Chain A
């Protein structure tokens, strides 16, 4: 007898490493997770992990996040097709096309887990994923795309070396400057605000007709399709 696994490690998506959950019963899912964790705990603890739910089991998202938290496993984001009716304590990525990006880049993205702090800089060849915040006065350079699973308040340079087709993604995109390929844009100079806004809209910066455009992630996905 051979059935589809309840819970499987699907491998790389554009954010890192994805666990796909197929079962529709909470206890079954937990059992499946236990098996995956037992066999791959090292992999799971040392990379950016997203959970992929189906329309039929996304109602369990919070239960499962808590279950994993109890096992000291932190999930960076939840991935679903449609985020309606979803309760989640971590960011939700609504992706009909999660593989869209990585298809064009055969190289594995570099990942950095932790906060990039004032005075620090990171440079990579290819795509870069940062699971953490990029704080003011830090610098991020990637020859490919930059994905920040956190706040981006430092200065990103995607497509470093001249690739204007690169993009920048962040949970909270608020840098003083954005550099893509050989383009550069400055954020409008408002007074430094100490207020923060909590309505997080994932945003993307990309180049169009030789200027840098910022749009919500949802809008950007629509454009791409």
Chain B
């Protein structure tokens, strides 16, 4: 097998990297791919929680690189599928506990047995980000439609380009059609104008995500979830299928779905 390292990064914090990592990792696994997700936000781990696996952590990524455990011992198997494993971040250490060479080496090792190695990057452009960037074969940039997040994404794309990482795709997260319509939120096109990299998906604002995280079940497990649907489409696109961008429409309480479509997902 010749797996692929897919890094999820953003620049700005809190825009949905870990939520995206969890959904894509689980979704790809449920589509039959063998997947390992690695939480590289060392010191601030939460991918384990979003995936509902926090009780199973015994060893973590720092244990692997410091060789205090075997690789197999630190691979946490998912509850729902045989195809997904998590390597958790260490919580009592910081970003300097691993180097990008060590992560690269680990990723190379995992590529032999897995189709996708998903690296959940920490925010920022410092060492932790470099650990996630340098092993990447492909990168997904997550941004929200806010000027500050888009500026930070632009900075990150510049750094990626300077490091010859040109396989990049964009996810715009938390778009709210009502706000876009009022002119209070950047539209998809406004964001693309600045970033000019290919768009692989748009995730609507979804207030249920908080509770999905609390119970450790990413959106894609919830049939009626709009964000789940958007993530499923991204997974199909990652698998090379040509999926139409779905309409993101306003919800009107008590009415059937508003017919005004403002933009396509």
- Could you tell me which A residues sit within 8 Å of B by CB distance? 114-120, 133, 135-138, 151, 192, 194-196
Whether B165 is near chain A, meaning CB under 8 Å from some CB there, is no
- Roughly how many angstroms separate A135 CA and B157 CA in the complex, as a whole number? 12
Chain B residues 81 to 137 lying within 8 A of chain A, measured CB to CB, are: none
A116 cross-chain contacts in B, Cβ below 8 A: 158
Q: How large is the interface on B (under 10, 10 to 19, 20 to 34, 35 or more residues)?
A: 10 to 19
Of A136, A192, A195, A196, which contacts B154 at CB under 8 A?
Answer: A136
A117 B161 Cβ-Cβ under 8 A: yes
Chain B residues 135 to 173 lying within 8 A of chain A, measured CB to CB, are: 147, 151-152, 154-155, 157-159, 161-162
With contact pairs A117-B158, A118-B154, A137-B155 given, residues A195 and B196 touching in the complex (Cβ less than 8 Å): no
Interface-side segment among B68-76, B186-194, B255-263: B186-194
Whether B183 is near chain A, meaning CB under 8 Å from some CB there, is yes
Of B151, B157, B159, B185, which contacts A136 at CB under 8 A?
Answer: B151
Given A117-B155, A133-B196, 13 further pairs, Cβ under 8 A:
A116-B158, A118-B158, A120-B158, A135-B154, A135-B194, A136-B154, A151-B193, A192-B147, A194-B147, A194-B190, A196-B189, A196-B190, A196-B193
With contact pairs A136-B154, A137-B151, A137-B155 given, residues A115 and B196 touching in the complex (Cβ less than 8 Å): yes
- Roughly how many angstroms separate A114 CA and B154 CA in the complex, as a whole number? 13
With contact pairs A133-B196, A196-B193 given, residues A117 and B185 touching in the complex (Cβ less than 8 Å): no
- Roughly how many angstroms separate A119 CA and B162 CA in the complex, as a whole number? 12
A151 cross-chain contacts in B, Cβ below 8 A: 193
Is the contact region of chain B dominated by helix, strand, or loop, or is it mixed? helix
Considering only CB atoms, which chain B residue lies closest to A137 in the complex? B151
Chain A nearest CB from B166 CB (Å) reads 10
Chain B nearest CB from A16 CB (Å) reads 20
- Roughly how many angstroms separate A196 CA and B150 CA in the complex, as a whole number? 15
Chain A nearest CB from B194 CB (Å) reads 6
- Roughly how many angstroms separate A151 CA and B186 CA in the complex, as a whole number? 18
A119 cross-chain contacts in B, Cβ below 8 A: 155, 158-159
- Roughly how many angstroms separate A15 CA and B161 CA in the complex, as a whole number? 24
Can you list 5 A-B contacts with CB-CB less than 8 angstroms, sorted by A residue number?
A: A119-B159, A137-B154, A137-B155, A194-B186, A196-B189
Chain A nearest CB from B199 CB (Å) reads 16
A117 B190 Cβ-Cβ under 8 A: no
Considering only CB atoms, which chain B residue lies closest to A195 in the complex? B183
A196 cross-chain contacts in B, Cβ below 8 A: 189-190, 193
A194 B158 Cβ-Cβ under 8 A: no
- Roughly how many angstroms separate A118 CA and B155 CA in the complex, as a whole number? 5
Chain B nearest CB from A10 CB (Å) reads 29
- Roughly how many angstroms separate A136 CA and B155 CA in the complex, as a whole number? 10
- Roughly how many angstroms separate A113 CA and B230 CA in the complex, as a whole number? 34
With contact pairs A194-B183, A194-B186 given, residues A117 and B193 touching in the complex (Cβ less than 8 Å): no
Among A116, A120, A133, A135, chain B packs the most CB atoms within 10 A around the CB of A135
Among A118, A120, A133, A138, chain B packs the most CB atoms within 10 A around the CB of A118
